[in-house]
Amino acid sequence: MTLEAKLPLAYPNEAPTLEVIGVKGLSTDQVATLQGMADAAAAENLGMAMCYTVAEELREWLVAHNEKPQVLQGESS
């Protein structure tokens, strides 16, 4: 996934505009979950530099929810 952050002039006292962009392997629901997490983490960290904190929280979620791709019958792995 990609996390795009647009920082306002008042950053970090104003939250950045964050957009989670999904890639192959993430469902629409998973992207929505990550977007909600990013927005919540930004709100919780107002007043502090937060981009690394937000990205790290999303990375940890991705690692915890990483699943090996399933091989369809008839395909070789």
User: How open is the CA angle 73-26-71, to the nearest 5 degrees?
Assistant: 10
* Average pLDDT rounded to a whole number, residues 23-46: 94
User: How far is 53 from 73, CA to CA, in rounded Å?
Assistant: 41
* Structural domain includes residue 53: yes
% of the chain at pLDDT higher than 90: 79
Answer whether residue 75 is part of any domain: no
Tell whether 71 is covered by a domain: no
Domain encompassing residue 60 = 2-9+16-64
Extract the tokens encoding 34: 């990550």
72 or 51, which is more confident? 51
What is the reported pTM? 0.83
Amino acid identity for residue 14 in this structure: E
Give residue for tokens 């919780």: 44
Could you tell me the two tokens for 3? 């996390």
The stretch 44-53 carries a mean pLDDT of: 96
22 lies in a domain? yes
Cis peptide before 12 (omega within 30 of 0): yes
Task: Establish if 69 belongs to a structural domain.
Answer: no
